[in-house]
Amino acid sequence: MSASTSSASTPAPDGHVVAGAVIRDGRVLLAQRTRPVDLAGLWELPGGKAEPGESVEAALVRELREELGVEVRGAERLGVAVPLAGGRELCAYRVELVSGDPEPLDHAALRWVDADELGEVDLVPADRAWIPDLREHLRR
């Protein structure tokens, strides 16, 4: 099953990397990277690699708990799959913030941005592919 057809509850394909779009009050949460050196200081949707056998939603729940200290649910796919080195794919998913106040546990800083600010933020290259889709969700 390809990354583009996997559902939130089926195991994610090997090499699948998830990014969570936490949207609240017309703003999306971005996290500022601290590593690797070539990406440090740039902004991204938080997330990480799905573990073998882990569903997309479970990976998002685990990663956002580890990186932000929050509980989320859901995994509504946003935009295109972005190819990464080593045959991996990065996919963005809209998630619902269930509890907790996001904290930068694995990042330099966090910020909430609206649809207009999204184009002004220095995003990591992979996340730039989702700007149109994120704007659409933010303007709903």
The CATH number that applies at residue 66 is 3.90.79.10
pLDDT at 1: 37
In a domain, 43, yes or no: yes
What is the predicted pLDDT for the residue at 7?
A: 61
> Considering its fold, how many domains does the chain have in total?
1
The chain-wide mean pLDDT, for the chain, equals 93
The answer as to whether 77 is a domain residue is yes
Q: What is the pLDDT of residues 80-130, one digit of tens each?
A: 999 999 999 999 999 999 999 999 999 999 999 999 999 899 999 999 999
Cis bond leading into 125, ω under 30°? no
Contact residues for 63 (Cβ-Cβ < 8 A; gap 6+): 18, 20, 46, 47, 48
13 within some domain: no
Is 79 part of a structural domain of the chain?
yes
Q: What is the pLDDT of residue 9?
A: 77
pLDDT of residue 4: 42
User: Which domain range does residue 101 map to?
Assistant: 20-108
pLDDT tens-digit series, residues 44-81: 999 999 999 999 999 999 999 999 999 999 999 999 99
Q: Would you say residue 11 lies in a domain?
A: no
**Bridge-partner residues for 12, per DSSP?**
none
Domain annotation covers residue 115: no
Amino acid 125 reads: P
Give the model confidence (pLDDT) of 3-50 as tens digits: 444 467 778 888 899 999 999 999 999 999 999 999 999 999 999 999
